[in-house]
């Protein structure tokens, strides 16, 4: 919240002149008939996207030259707000003269930018950015029909932020690579959530399948799980290869010591009828790691427990885990 957001204004004030002109007088509104397409030596494509129940629906007509794949003419009909009408009109115009493969590359960002009065000022207010998205989707539907393939062929990624066209994969990757901890950081790195903001969290002006807050929480949880798995692996296998003994948490250190006791020390003590328990592991202020043990069986009360046996145990632990280890019998 800030001064400018405290008093809402008319969203129409934020429409560019180009948007307003196209809302009032769409140039490419209408239909292309089978006959008209034939006269141009073209194949007629009619594609639909959206539904009145969603608040937006668009029908796109293409006359495509099958020899060159070039879209010779394009028209639209649109049920939607003024932005949807203006976007559809711009989208139809942008298609003309392009090949089908080139047209598929037109994004909602291209449509919005084409409607700007100057390159720096958005053509529509943030919450209307998504109205140009429909243009992108109907082009894919038309191209899929022309090529006789499934429209999902063009959808290789899940788009989380429609306004900035940022995919789920990109967001997850950026969180991981940069160790991002807040949604604001995600927006800084990707622009996702910078426009209409409805992808940030539930409760915005439209419902979304994915929200940045959830993606952040899930990715951070995944990262945490992976860290713990790494610790667990380190403790049970080639300890020290990935992580030093000092970097492990107390439980990790305990398990690593316990494992080493089982493999290298307890068999040695058992030969004399003795054993030991690990009581505690504490980090000293001087950086030493004190491992408190209690001798059991024959080792309990054995004079060597404070000298030879103790030095032997300490040496094994120091060599395998850390030179900072001190063993403290109690």
Partner 1 sequence: MKRVYLDNNATTMVDPQAYELMLPYFCEKYGNPNSLHDFGSETHPALRKAMDQLYAGIGADDMDDIIVTSCATESNNWVLKGIYFDKIVTGEKDHIITTSVEHPAIGATCSFLESLGVRITKLDVNSEGLINPDDLRNAIDDKTALVSIMWANNETGAIFPIKELVQIAHERGVLFHTDGVQAVGKIKVDVKDAGVDFMSFSAHKFHGPKGIGGLFIKNSQKLTSLLHGGEHMGGRRSGTLNVPYIVAMGEALEIANKFIDFENIHVKRLRDKLEDALLEIPDVTVVGKREHRVPNTILASIKGVEGEAMLWDLNKAGIAASTGSACASETLESNPIMEAIGADKELAHTALRLSLSRFNTEEEIDYAIEHIKKATQRLRAISSTFAYAPQWHKSGL
User: Given the complex with partner 1, which of 206 and 242 has the nearer CB atom?
Assistant: 206
64 touching partner 1, by CB under 8 A: no
User: Given the complex with partner 1, which of 21 and 185 has the nearer CB atom?
Assistant: 21
User: Of residues 117-136, which lie at the interface with partner 1 (CB under 8 A)?
Assistant: 127, 130
Per residue in 192-225, is it b (16+ CB within 10 Å) or e — as a string?
bbbbbbbbbeeeeeeebeebbbebbeebeeeeee
26 touching partner 1, by CB under 8 A: yes
Q: Helix or strand or coil: residue 99?
A: strand
Near partner 1 by CB under 8 A: residue from 18, 21, 65, 81: 81
The one segment of 49-57, 97-105, 233-241, 257-265 that binds partner 1 by CB under 8 A: 49-57
DSSP 113: H
Cα–Cα dist 235/243, whole Å: 9
Is 299 annotated in a binding site? The answer is no
Torsion of CA 117, 118, 120, 124, to 10 degrees: 0
Near partner 1 by CB under 8 A: residue from 32, 85, 192, 194: 85
Nearest 5°: phi and psi at 21?
A: -65, -40
224 touching partner 1, by CB under 8 A: no
Is 81 annotated in a binding site? The answer is yes
Active site residue 131: yes
Shortest spacing between CB 77 and partner 1, in angstroms: 4
Are 28 and 92 in contact, with CB atoms under 8 Å apart? yes
Q: How far is C-alpha 87 from the chain's CA centre?
A: 28
Q: Helix or strand or coil: residue 280?
A: strand
**Which helix (H) or strand (E) segment is 71 a member of?**
strand 70-79
Q: Which residues here bind partner 1, judged by CB under 8 A?
A: 8, 11-12, 23-24, 26, 29, 31, 48, 51-59, 76-82, 84-85, 127, 130, 205-206
Q: Which residues are catalytic?
A: 54, 131
- The annotated binding site for Fe cation is made up of 54, 81, 131
């Amino acid at each position: 919240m800030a001064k400018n957001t405290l008093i809402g204004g008319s969203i129409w004030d934020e429409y560019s002149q180009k948007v307003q002109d196209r809302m009032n007088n769409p140039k490419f509104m209408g239909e292309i008939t089978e006959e008209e397409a034939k006269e141009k030596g073209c194949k007629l494509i009619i594609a639909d996207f959206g539904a009145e129940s969603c608040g937006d629906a668009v029908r796109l007509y293409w006359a495509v030259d099958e020899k060159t794949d070039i879209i010779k003419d394009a028209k639209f009909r649109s049920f939607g707000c003024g932005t949807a009408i203006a976007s559809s009109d711009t989208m139809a115009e942008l298609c003309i003269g392009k090949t089908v493969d080139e047209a598929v590359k037109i994004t909602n960002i291209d449509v919005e930018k084409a409607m700007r009065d100057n390159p720096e000022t958005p053509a529509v207010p943030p919450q209307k950015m998504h109205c140009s998205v429909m243009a992108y989707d109907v082009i894919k539907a038309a191209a899929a029909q022309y090529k006789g393939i499934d429209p999902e062929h063009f959808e290789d990624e899940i788009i989380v932020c429609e306004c900035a066209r940022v995919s789920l994969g990109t967001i997850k990757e950026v969180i991981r690579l940069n160790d991002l901890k807040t949604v604001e950081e995600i927006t800084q790195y990707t622009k996702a959530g910078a426009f209409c903001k409805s992808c940030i969290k539930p409760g915005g002006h439209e419902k979304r399948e994915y929200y940045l807050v959830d993606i952040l929480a899930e990715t951070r949880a995944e990262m945490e799980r992976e860290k713990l798995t790494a610790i667990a692996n380190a403790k049970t296998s080639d300890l020290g290869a990935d992580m030093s003994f000092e970097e492990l948490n107390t439980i990790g250190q305990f398990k690593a010591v316990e494992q080493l006791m089982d493999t290298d020390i307890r068999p040695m003590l058992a030969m004399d009828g003795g054993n030991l328990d690990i009581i505690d592991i504490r980090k000293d202020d001087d950086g030493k790691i004190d491992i408190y043990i209690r001798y059991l069986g024959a080792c309990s009360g054995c004079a060597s427990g404070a000298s030879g046996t103790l030095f032997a145990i300490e040496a094994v632990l120091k060599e395998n885990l850390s030179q900072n280890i001190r063993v403290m019998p109690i």
